[in-house]
Amino acid sequence: MKHYDVIVIGGGHAGVEAACAAARRGAKTALVTMRMDNIGVMSCNPAMGGLGKGHLIREIDALDGVMGQVADAAGIQFRLLNRSKGPAVQGPRAQIDRAIYRSVMQAVVGSQEGLQVVEGEVSGLLADAVGVRGVILASGASMTAGAVVVTAGTFLNGVIHIGDRKQSGGRVGDAASVRLGQYLADMGLRGGRLKTGTPPRLDGSTIDWAAVDMQAGDDDPVMLSFLTDKPAARQISCGVTSTNEETHEIVRRNISLSAMYGGHVEGVGPRYCPSIEDKVTRFADKDSHQVYLEPEGLNDRTVYPNGISTSLPAEIQEAYVRTIKGLGHVRILQAGYAIEYDYFDPRCLASDLSVSAAPGLFFAGQINGTTGYEEAAAQGIVAGLNAAAKSLDLEPAVFSRGDSYIGVLIDDLTTRGVTEPYRMFTSRAEFRLSLRADNADQRLTPMGRRLGCVGDSRWERFSEKSSEIARGSEMLQSVRLTPKQLAAQGIQVSNDGQSRTAFAVLGLAGVSPEHVSALLPEFKSVAPSIQRQIAIEALYQPYRDRQTADVRALQAEEGQRIEADFDYSSLSGLSNELKSKLNQIRPENMAQAGRIEGITPAALLLILSRIRSGQRVSSSR
């Protein structure tokens, strides 16, 4: 029987990161997946990154993970979302050529030292009184390992729904994983059913492109990996169109035929990726919804209409899609569908993503109730690093809410659990001013190097960049400038006679590295990209101090009582979703409110400040 240090089950986004991370740590690793040629398949939208998700990719990349570099190699349009807002909430996003992504990912996995890919279906686990010892394949063969990571995605007892038609499947074209699903359920782990949906795929040659708006990528593309300088593939534009009253009328008239609305699907769906059925029902007052027409590749006529996922019958899909401007004669290549699958309550996991009740077993990805490629990959890297640690007796990889979005994700999952598919948002992080996409390498690469998962070439590049940031920052910290000197350069500050460090000056609104270079010519010797990085740090310095104070205040007020009749509905700034959850749960104190799934630090601060203003009013009466 073949023995490995780590066996990873599943070659999806969680699986490849887990397998590569374990191998980078020196573990002899096997990646067992149903179909080798499906490694790197993107089950749903042909895009990666965005708000929160772009942060996760940068953090994976900082640990020398594979997703960022592969996405950059396959990117056919790059856009920095929230460009007009502060860097903390900007998210790099790329439109991806599916075929390039898949082939580059397969090449990366194939060339990873210490990693072997095995094609096969895992039907059960080898386990004894001590814990999990390996896997059993459907062929009857077995393989042993010091640790096993399950990343089975949407495949566990997966059922595909289109209208009232349903069939077993892990995603369209792939068989479900029924035996492994049954094996894990028999272990007695708590779990449930979740669902997600995907839109119909369109034949781009039948779209009237002249009738829709076109959106190009950024002129100065921002890459997903710290190691990439510019796009590799030809860049394209996407189309933008929208639904209308006629579209909504067809959906409304046929809503009872939808798998999700007709009572055929019992699982809970992702609230943040609503289907067209959800949109016309939940947002009935809106007479139009935007639809992005995203080409799936440079040599592929398939177009992904982002924004209209559905589980209506195929003929209804065709009818409503054809009401949309530019899609009057469109041909559907593949009908949209919903998929329902098993997940396990992530509260059965420790913070290293090991299953508490089964030593040696780790779970990562959609199996833990998340949705999205990036969330899956982030868990994959954590599970892979820790499976290697378990097997080889190495230092565990521990992430905290203070050092990364990865830490926020793991903590949210393992302490709060999920009631609906979980996706990352910047609002979930209490330290989001310091957990930025631009500084993920500064936060995590040293830790990755210590853990042994960051290779020499990345480390060299990182070290050069870091010493240049330190040199530039010290230069600015060591020089003080008076209001008079600043005024001479057109920089107005209060005439308080106080001198300020050049670093603090660079953080002032409207002050650019060029202004500072005019006052301090030696700063010109610092590369422009490093100057920009230092400027971001300087900008956030004062806010970070306040952020730390807010977090301390929240921690100190955990015992604060919340009145039973607290009026959440009147709190402006609180989302309707949170208002309804808080109204339903009615937490007794701040600590309980903090444990509600989806609650954000900003929401807690709103509640706290209302309680405090109430206290001030009553004490002043």
Residues 6+ apart with CB under 8 A from 44: 196, 198
User: Would you count residue 151 as binding ligand FAD (CB under 6 A)?
Assistant: yes
> Site mask, ligand FAD, residues 234-273, x = CB under 6 A?
---------------------------------------x
Shortest distance (Å) from residue 156 CB to ligand FAD? 7
Q: Which stretch binds ligand FAD (CB under 6 A): 26-34, 445-453, 525-533, 538-546?
A: 26-34
Q: What is the dihedral of CA 477, 483, 487, 492, to 10 degrees?
A: 90
In this structure, which amino acid lies at residue 459? W
Q: Is 118 in the site for ligand FAD (CB under 6 A)?
A: no
Residue 153 within binding range of ligand FAD, rule CB under 6 A: yes
Regarding 94 and contact with ligand FAD (CB under 6 A), the answer is no
Least Å distance, CB 34 to ligand FAD, is 4
- Binding span for ligand FAD by CB under 6 A among 3-11, 65-73, 539-547, 551-559: 3-11
Q: Which is nearer to ligand FAD, 77 or 370 (CB)?
A: 370
180 binds ligand FAD (CB under 6 A): yes
- Identity of the residue, 254 or 371, whose beta carbon is nearer to ligand FAD in the bound complex: 371
Taking a C-beta distance cutoff of 8 angstroms, is the pair 520, 475 a contact?
yes
CB closer to ligand FAD out of 106 and 439:
106
Q: Which residue from 29, 177, 241, 547 is in contact with ligand FAD, where contact means CB under 6 A?
A: 177
**Considering the complex, what minimum distance in angstroms separates the CB of residue 501 from ligand FAD?**
43
Q: How many residues bind ligand FAD (CB under 6 A)?
A: 35
Phi and psi torsions of 80, nearest 5°:
-90, 110
Which position among 5, 6, 7, 13 is part of the footprint of ligand FAD (CB under 6 A)? 13
The answer to whether 582 and 596 have CB atoms below 8 angstroms apart is yes
Binding mask 363-402 for ligand FAD (x = CB under 6 A): --xx----xxx--x--------------------------
Report in angstroms how near the CB of residue 124 gets to ligand FAD at its nearest: 9
Q: Which is nearer to ligand FAD, 33 or 414 (CB)?
A: 33
Question: How many Å apart are CA 609 and CA 69, to the nearest integer?
Answer: 43
Q: Does 7 bind ligand FAD (CB under 6 A)?
A: no
Nearer to ligand FAD, 121 or 438 (CB): 121
66 is an interface residue for ligand FAD by CB under 6 A = no
**Does residue number 91 form part of the binding site for ligand FAD (CB under 6 A)?**
no
One symbol per residue from 311 to 340: x for binding ligand FAD (CB under 6 A), - otherwise; what is it? ----------------------------x-
Which of 16, 506 has the CB closer to ligand FAD? 16
Beta strands (DSSP E) in 296-336 are 302-306, 332-334
Find the shortest distance in angstroms from Cβ 309 to ligand FAD: 6
Q: Is 161 in the site for ligand FAD (CB under 6 A)?
A: no
Interface map 477-496 toward ligand FAD (x if CB under 6 A) = --------------------
Cβ of residue 78: shortest distance to ligand FAD, in angstroms? Answer: 19
User: What's the rounded Cα separation, in Å, for the pair 456 and 465?
Assistant: 14
For residue 50, the SS3 value is coil
* Closer to ligand FAD by Cβ: residue 370 or 434: 370
Q: State the minimum distance, in angstroms, from the CB of residue 114 to ligand FAD.
A: 20
Secondary structure of residue 96 in the 3-state scheme: strand
CA–CA separation, 500 and 53 (whole Å): 37
With a CB cutoff of 8 Å and minimum separation 6, the contacts of 142 are 1, 126, 134, 135, 136
Site for ligand FAD contains 32 (CB under 6 A): yes
Per-residue binding string, ligand FAD, 189-228, x by CB under 6 A, is -------xxx------------------------------
Query: DSSP string covering 122-158, please?
Result: EEEEEE-SS-EEEEEETTS-EEEEEEEEE--TT-BT-
In three-state form (DSSP H/G/I as H, E/B as E, the rest C), the secondary structure along 254-265 is: CHHHCCCCCCCC
Nearest to 381 by CA among 403, 362, 360, 356: 362
Q: Kindly tell me which residue out of 20, 23, 27, 44 binds ligand FAD, with binding defined by CB under 6 A.
A: 44
Q: Return the bridge partners of 203, or none.
A: 302
Residue 60 beta carbon to ligand FAD: minimum distance, rounded to whole angstroms: 13
Half-sphere exposure of 505 (CA within 13 A, CB side): 33
Report d(CA 255, CA 236) in Å as an integer.
35
Strand 500-501 to 480-481 pairing = antiparallel
N-term to C-term CA, the chain = 79
Q: What is the token pair recorded at 72?
A: 């950059």
Using the CB atoms, write b or e for 557-588: b if 16+ within 10 Å: beebebeeebebeebeebeeebbebbeeeebe
Helix H or strand E encompassing 48: strand 47-49
Chain centroid to CA 294: how far? 20
Q: Is residue 38 at the binding interface for ligand FAD, with CB under 6 A as the rule?
A: yes
Measure the CA angle with vertex 17, ends 14 and 23; round to 5°: 135
- In this chain, which of 9, 324, 335, 418 binds ligand FAD, going by CB under 6 A? 9
Q: What are phi and psi of 284, to 5 degrees?
A: -60, -25
Among 10, 40, 239, 448, binds ligand FAD (CB under 6 A): 10
Binding residues (CB under 6 A) for ligand FAD: these are 9-15, 32-34, 38, 43-44, 121-122, 151-155, 170-171, 177, 180, 196-198, 273, 339, 365-366, 371-373, 376
